[in-house]
Amino acid sequence: MPFDPERRHRRSIRLKGYDYHQAGAYFVTVCTQDRACLFGEVIGGEMRLNEAGQMVHDIWNDLPSFYPGVQTDAFIVMPNHMHGIIILVGQAPVPALRNHP
């Protein structure tokens, strides 16, 4: 879906000139399309994840095993979005390969 400035009136909260590739802790929010409640529901003040919500939860926890240099911190899955803190720590140097006789 192409960006429609008439429909979307958000301003960027990104810091101008900041290199978001560098190591640091970043707060991220990911929303479902059209804010559809796909991840579960809040019952009695507690989030109850459905199968899709549990999948989001599990994938967040597994990110460090798939991406070297990434750590995860606090996060929460809500009915139509998730918030989390992702930490880019940089990738450990890969040792040089040596020729063996």
pLDDT at 5 over 80: no
**82 Cβ contact list (under 8 Å, min separation 6):** 29, 30, 39, 56, 60, 75, 76
- Among the listed residues 76, 69, 71, 67, the one whose alpha carbon sits nearest the alpha carbon of residue 91: 69
What are 35-68's pLDDT values in tens digits? 999 999 999 999 999 999 999 999 999 999 988 8
- Among the listed residues 72, 49, 50, the one whose alpha carbon sits nearest the alpha carbon of residue 61: 72
Domains and CATH numbers, the chain: 24-88 (3.30.70.1290)
What are 7-21's pLDDT values in tens digits? 666 677 778 888 877
pLDDT at 101 over 70: no
Helix, strand and coil content of the chain, in percent to the nearest 5, comes to 20, 30, 50
